[in-house]
Amino acid sequence: MTIIDIINKKRLGKELKREELEFAIEGYLDNSIKDYQMSSLLMAIVINGMTESETINLTDIMLKSGDIFDLSKIDGIIVDKHSTGGVGDKVTLVLAPLLASLDIKIAKMSGRGLGHTGGTIDKLESIEGFNVNISKDKFIKQVNDINIALISQSDTIVPADKKLYALRDVTGTVESIPLIASSVMSKKLASGADVILIDVTVGRGALIKNLKDARRLANLMVKIGKAYRKPTICILTSMEEPLGYAIGNALEVKEAIDTLKGNGPDDLLEVVMTLCSIIIGATKKISNSEAKKMLINQLKNKKAYNKFKQLVEAQDGDITNIKVSDKAFSIKSEKEGYIAKIDALRLGEIAKKIGAGRSTLKDKIDYEVGLVLSKKVGDYVEVDEELLKLYLNKKDVSIKEILDCYTIVENKIDKPKLILDIIK
C-alpha cells in the first residue's frame, strides 16, 4: 500500500478501507507521509466526500491517536460543549458557569481561535493571570471541588486532529462535513464527558453556510456519538450576524460577565438558555419551562456570576483586571434605515486584522482590541448615529471597510430566527 494509491482511490471517489485510513493518519503523524501528500488526500476528501462508515473509521483512528481522558474520578454527570465556530461566540463563557452553579459538572477542553472565528482559550487569557494549562490532577480535583474547569486542548489528546486541523486551515480543506465531524467528535470522545452538546453554527460567519449541510453534519455527529454510547445533542444556530454585541477577546469576556449578572444581549441569552435547558432536561429530568426558570434565577441571584469568579480565582486569574484598549472610535452610519445585514464573516476578519485573532498559529493576539456593535439586524439607524465602537491599539482598519459590512434598507426588517433546529 502507498499513499499515492490511497490518494488516487479517493480522487476516483471510492470508499477507503480502515487499513488505508490508518496507513494515511499514522504515516502523517510519524512524518513518513508529507504535508503535500496529506493536503492532496484532504482535498480529494473535500471534493468526493466520505461514506458514513469511512467517517466513523476516521474518527476512531483519530481518537486513538493519543491519550483518552479518564474522568471516572469525577462524581456525577459530566457535560462537554463544543461550537463549530463563530464571530462574537462567547456562549461557553456564560453556559459553563451557569450550569456549574446548578451542580452540573463541566470538564471542558477548549480551543484557540483560528481564521475569522474566536476561541474560548484566547478569551480566557485576556483575564490577567488566567492559567489555561493546569495539570490533569488539578483539573479533576477542581471539577470535583467547584464543578468547573476550563483548559486548553492538550497536546497529547487527539494529536492527529491538531496536525490535520493546522494543515486544513492553510490548504482550503476546512469546509468538509466528514472532516469537521471527525475532527469535532474525535476530540469530544477523547475528552471523556458523559454528554456531548454541539452548537452547529450556520451562515456567513460560520464554516457551514446552509441549513441542509448543517443538518447533515449534525446527524452524522449524533450517529458517531451513538456508536460510542455517548448521548450527543446538536443545536443549529444562525451565524449570519455576530452573536451578541462584542467581538474581540477582553470585550467578549466583559459581555459574558454582564450576561452572567443578568444584563446580557437577547440573542446570546437565547442560545445559552436553549443549550442549558437541553442539558438540564437531560440530567435533572425536569421540563423545559422549569429549567428556564431555574436558569433565570441563577442569573438574577448572581450565583452564575459567582461561579465564574470562583473559576477565575481557581485558575489564578484576576477578574478585576481585564483590559480593554482606551483608544475607542465611534463609527457612524452614512445612511438611514433598517439594518438588513451585518456581515459576520467580514467583521470577524476585521477583528483579526486589528489584532484580535491570528493569521498563523505563531501570531500574538492583542486581547484589548475589537468591536462593539451598537445596532443589530432589524434595528433602525439614523444618519450620523453610531453603528459600532472600534477599539484599536497598534493596527488600523478603514472606516469604509467597516461600513461595507452593513446593508441598510428602507423597509422594516424582522429580527432573524436564531435557533434553527435541534438534532439528537
Q: Can residue 63 be called a binding residue for ligand URA (CB under 6 A)?
A: no
For the CB of residue 186, give the shortest distance to ligand URA in the complex, in Å: 9
Query: Which listed residue (81, 82, 108, 375) is catalytic?
Result: 82
Q: Is 168 a catalytic residue?
A: yes
Q: 91-100 and 288-300 are packed helices; what angle lies between their axes, rounded to 10 degrees?
A: 100
Grid coordinates given for 376: 443589530
Output 317 or 348, the one with its CB closest to ligand URA. Answer: 348
Judged by CB under 6 A, the number of residues near ligand URA is: 8
Q: Are 295 and 271 in contact (CB under 8 A)?
A: no
Q: Can residue 317 be called a binding residue for ligand URA (CB under 6 A)?
A: no
Q: Can residue 24 be called a binding residue for ligand URA (CB under 6 A)?
A: no
Query: Which listed residue (182, 183, 191, 238) is catalytic?
Result: 183
Q: Can residue 402 be called a binding residue for ligand URA (CB under 6 A)?
A: no
Q: Can residue 99 be called a binding residue for ligand URA (CB under 6 A)?
A: no
Q: Are 95 and 304 in contact (CB under 8 A)?
A: no
For the CB of residue 176, give the shortest distance to ligand URA in the complex, in Å: 8
For the CB of residue 217, give the shortest distance to ligand URA in the complex, in Å: 10
Q: Can residue 119 be called a binding residue for ligand URA (CB under 6 A)?
A: no
CA atoms within 13 A on the CB side of 169: 16
Please, is 281 exposed, middle or buried when counting C-beta atoms within 10 Å of its C-beta (0-12, 13-18, 19+)?
middle
List, as one string, the DSSP characters of 316-358: T--TT-B---SEEEEEE-SS-EEEEEE-HHHHHHHHIIIIIS-
Q: Can residue 84 be called a binding residue for ligand URA (CB under 6 A)?
A: yes
Please, is 287 exposed, middle or buried when counting C-beta atoms within 10 Å of its C-beta (0-12, 13-18, 19+)?
exposed
392 pairs with which residues across the strands? 327
Query: Which listed residue (10, 81, 187, 375) is catalytic?
Result: 187
For the CB of residue 39, give the shortest distance to ligand URA in the complex, in Å: 15
Segment 273-277 long-range contacts (CB within 8 Å, at least 24 positions apart): 274/235, 274/419, 274/422, 275/81, 275/91, 275/95, 275/197, 275/199, 275/235, 276/95, 276/98, 276/99
Output 197 or 280, the one with its CB closest to ligand URA. Answer: 197
Output 105 or 187, the one with its CB closest to ligand URA. Answer: 187
Among positions 184-223, residues that touch ligand URA (CB under 6 A) are: 184, 207
Grid coordinates given for 111: 480551543
Output 84 or 154, the one with its CB closest to ligand URA. Answer: 84
Euclidean distance between CA atoms 50 and 56, whole angstroms: 10
For the CB of residue 207, give the shortest distance to ligand URA in the complex, in Å: 6
Euclidean distance between CA atoms 278 and 422, whole angstroms: 10
For the CB of residue 245, give the shortest distance to ligand URA in the complex, in Å: 24
Position of minimal CB gap to ligand URA: 183
Query: Which listed residue (168, 188, 307, 346) is catalytic?
Result: 168
Q: 303-314 and 288-300 are packed helices; what angle lies between their axes, rounded to 10 degrees?
A: 70
**Which residue in the set 6, 42, 58, 85 belongs to the binding site for ligand URA (CB under 6 A)?**
85
Q: How far apart are the first and last CA of the chain?
A: 39
For the CB of residue 343, give the shortest distance to ligand URA in the complex, in Å: 20
Euclidean distance between CA atoms 112 and 335, whole angstroms: 37
- Binding to ligand URA by CB under 6 A, coded x per residue (else -) over 161-190, reads ----x-------------xx--xx------
Task: Kindly state the helix (H) or strand (E) to which residue 6 belongs, with its residue range.
Answer: helix 3-11
Output 208 or 387, the one with its CB closest to ligand URA. Answer: 208
Output 89 or 343, the one with its CB closest to ligand URA. Answer: 89
Q: Is 187 a catalytic residue?
A: yes
CB within 8 Å of 40: residues ≥ 6 apart: 7
Task: Kindly state the helix (H) or strand (E) to which residue 109 belongs, with its residue range.
Answer: strand 105-110
Q: Can residue 113 be called a binding residue for ligand URA (CB under 6 A)?
A: no
Among positions 326-355, residues that touch ligand URA (CB under 6 A) are: none
Binding site for ligand URA (CB under 6 A): 84-85, 165, 179-180, 183-184, 207
Catalytic residues: 82, 161, 168, 183, 187
